[in-house]
Amino acid sequence: MRHKLFEPFTLGSVSLKNRTVMAPMTRCRSGEGDTPTPLMATYYSQRATAGLILTEGTPVSPKARGYLWTPGIYTQEQIEGWKRVSEAVHNAGGQLFMQIWHVGRISHQSLQPDSAAPEGPTNELSNATVCFAYDEQENPGNVPTTQPKAIDAEDIQRIKQEFVQAALNARQSGIDGVEIHGANGYLFDEFLNSIINTRQDGYGDSIENRCHFLLEVVDAVSDAIGADRTGVRISPNGRFNDIPEDPQMEATFIYLSRELNQREIAFLHINDQGTFGLPSIPEGLIPKIRYVFSGPIILCGGYDAERAKDAIDQGIADLVAFGVPFIANPDLPARLEHGWSLNEADRDTFYGGEEQGYTDYPFYEE
């Protein structure tokens, strides 16, 4: 009998043909003006047999950028570029949500308008963290992040508005919904962390206040495009991008998940950074989140077909997202369903470049 992983699922207001999700993955291949290219449309449409595609992290404004060649969603040209992507995916029978993103303090002045300081929760620099920007000789490469400037109340309201506009722009470009990037050490994850976030202005200082910014943005985006088209990604216990261990981690993510449950968002996407070689989500936390969040849960991080089916059978996941396996296998759902062999991903072509390692991975042939 066909496993539920390969059966249709209703996610908010979108009907998916199966429960496999393509995880959001930055590939650094945007064109002039950080505009999505026709090649990106080909890449995503090749993967349209996923029940849902989550696009790569997509900056909501010029200040939200932390890497070169990441396609944005704040200019008319970018909206037109994304239209090509959404049309190609829909024509191939797929559905897609855009991951909308602000990198917070993980940025470099060479990427910022007027070489300004990146926007962080505080002025504290992240240690030993790099981003992909221009070095002193103006060559692209991994460079240490620049000292950030703490955003103030006005910035918070502006950034909230940028997320709203990004979500509206995504919908205008035909994209089915958005995933707010609350994971992996970027802006919202920085606000959630009790060691990094030492603010005293109603956006720090307690669990409720550290969740305040993300929840305000969720509310504003939901008001603009519908909660049933708004998802959120988190990475509990994540350490990527110099997120320190947080004694309040578990209580924070349970509180946040309970709040998100009340908002009836389209999904909660939980990323486990264990496959980054970092600590995993502690045993028992995902069932606790499941207990307080009754909407659709997507789990991600190191899944294969067996683990994915098991997570769905246990009831801790409704859908499962695959990252690296989707880079190398455009037809991943069929391969997982039939137990066909998988192509190996080539890490050297993850970021930047053209077709190689992007649109030239073969489909399965017997």
Ligand X SMILES: Cc1cc2nc3c(=O)[nH]c(=O)nc-3n(C[C@H](O)[C@H](O)[C@H](O)COP(=O)(O)O)c2cc1C
Contact map string, positions 153 to 172, toward ligand X, x by CB under 6 A: --------------------
Is 186 a known active-site residue? Answer: yes
The DSSP symbol for 92 reads T
CA–CA gap between residue 300 and residue 272 (Å, rounded): 6
Among 98, 183, 305, 336, binds ligand X (CB under 6 A): 183
In the complex, what is the shortest distance from the CB of residue 275 to ligand X, in angstroms, rounded to a whole number?
Answer: 4
Among 324, 328, 334, 342, binds ligand X (CB under 6 A): 324
Name the H helices within the chain: 38-46, 76-91, 153-172, 187-192, 207-225, 249-262, 285-292, 305-314, 324-328, 332-338
Instruction: Tell how strand 52-59 and strand 149-150 pair up.
Output: unpaired
For residue 111, the SS3 value is helix
In the complex, what is the shortest distance from the CB of residue 301 to ligand X, in angstroms, rounded to a whole number?
Answer: 4
Q: Is 188 in the site for ligand X (CB under 6 A)?
A: no
Instruction: Tell how strand 230-234 and strand 177-181 pair up.
Output: parallel
CA–CA gap between residue 320 and residue 309 (Å, rounded): 9
| Residues of this chain, 231-250, that bind ligand X according to CB under 6 A | 233
Among 301, 330, 333, 357, binds ligand X (CB under 6 A): 301
Contact map string, positions 104 to 133, toward ligand X, x by CB under 6 A: ------------------------------
Q: Is 350 in the site for ligand X (CB under 6 A)?
A: yes
CA–CA gap between residue 38 and residue 227 (Å, rounded): 30
Of 44, 67, 74, 186, which residue is the catalytic one? 186
Would you say 61 and 17 are in contact if contact means Cβ atoms under 8 Å apart?
no
| Span from 250-258, 278-286, 289-297, 301-309 in contact with ligand X (CB under 6 A) | 301-309
Q: Which is nearer to ligand X, 24 or 121 (CB)?
A: 24
Among 78, 257, 271, 329, binds ligand X (CB under 6 A): 271
Number of residues that bind ligand X (CB under 6 A): 22
Residue 9 contacts by C-beta under 8 Å, 6 or more apart in sequence? 15, 16, 18, 19, 51, 296, 318, 319
Q: Which is nearer to ligand X, 69 or 350 (CB)?
A: 350
Q: End-to-end distance of the chain based on CA atoms, in angstroms?
A: 22
| Residue 102 token pair | 């602000």
- Nearest position to ligand X, beta carbon: 323
Q: Is 73 in the site for ligand X (CB under 6 A)?
A: no
Q: Which residues bind ligand X (CB under 6 A)?
A: 23-26, 56-57, 99, 181, 183-184, 233, 271, 275, 300-303, 322-325, 350
What residues are labeled active site? Answer: 186
